Structure 1
């Protein structure tokens, strides 16, 4: 069997690449990373258009090519059901799919106001008012899941697809010093301390600067 290849873009800026990479790690899939330069055709558009459905990240394995983070999650769940990417209980699994789909398709104001940038830190950040309902909704999802399933992850004692999908949001909240309620702070700390997130972040910080700050929100 040929080794799987995950095509990604910038580790510093691309939240979708992070999600796809975390999903592969959760699935236990041994991957080779293939990097698409951020100035390659389509990659700047990926960031500027806030698109969750471009061809990065793309997982290639044998004669299968899968893109879009939720498609990657479903493919990995089919291939590696023992990895537990989704909760075992059907009702809980449906809940996990629902919140994962919500962050995948929504929260456009949050993405625009708080672009992912792992190298940046803002002690005080003037937040676009339109992003506040998105931030409140994220915290409501986190509180609901933590209360229902006991934490420290959204669906219990191990990370799932939902945690991979929300991980870039936790990094954004850290970058822009967003005030969070106590359960959300605890969960965010869990995500930021996740060994896979730590590994990705270290690589992002070592990444050479390939562009100046984007001249539009991303």
Structure 2
């Protein structure tokens, strides 16, 4: 077990968007943890998840004998436990906007989630999307552009340096890369496209992608 007692229970890397968020944040922060993988495609998945969490969902973070079972709650816990890791921006205004953006992701964008499930390494661009999905994409592009314009001058991420907000939007970046052929049709001036490229240039994202490839090989 990792020295700090962290065990992160996750699902499939090809599809489990919520699992990616705390996993990526831990990797980016350089915090050691033990990965507990549950194949969500097996008939035994329910029993396996319940062995780790009575909530019956992944991800779950165990910090020694403490269980945290929601992605954003996990990230907030890590930010409190490791204030030196920069999980949130240091500037108060940037931090407030980062929290708002993360909360919007946590509770919103249902049409995009429903119609464009994460397929992490797939390329499946659609000529048309339902209007609610288009609205979601336009909002995401606008949000990313605003964060980058206001707070992104010193690095490639939403608030310059990698933060919880980037962990929250990494699966969204994956969805847009998979399903949207031209973000310019949704108001992108190149900012959103460059941001997606910056996320996928992270070694941790490459590592997650290799795991997704292995899952497809053994289906």
Q: Same fold (TM over 0.5)?
A: yes
**2:158 is matched with which residue?**
154
- Compare 100-109 and 85-94 and name the one that shifted more: 85-94
**2:176 is matched with which residue?**
173
Maintained 8 Å contact 1:26/1:83: no
**1:135 is matched with which residue?**
137
Q: Which structure 1 segments of 5+ residues have no match?
A: 45-52, 212-218
- Does 1:90 pair with 2:98? no
Describe the SS at the equivalent of 2:39. coil
**1:189 is matched with which residue?**
197
Which whole-Å CA distance do the structure 2 matches of 1:112 and 1:210 have between them?
26
Describe the SS at the equivalent of 1:184. helix
Q: Shift of residue 4 of structure 1?
A: 1.4
**2:212 is matched with which residue?**
204
**1:118 is matched with which residue?**
120
- Does 1:41 pair with 2:41? no
User: TM-score with structure 1 length normalisation?
Assistant: 0.85
Q: Shift of residue 210 of structure 1?
A: 7.3
Q: Which structure 2 segments of 5+ residues have no match?
A: 50-54
Maintained 8 Å contact 1:27/1:77: no
Task: State the Cα RMSD in Å.
Answer: 2.1
Q: Shift of residue 37 of structure 1?
A: 2.1
Q: Shift of residue 55 of structure 1?
A: 3.2
User: TM-score with structure 2 length normalisation?
Assistant: 0.85
**Matched residue pairs, number?**
202
Deviations 1:15-55 (CA, angstroms, capped at 9, x unpaired): 000012012223332111111220312899xxxxxxxx863
Maintained 8 Å contact 1:26/1:85: no
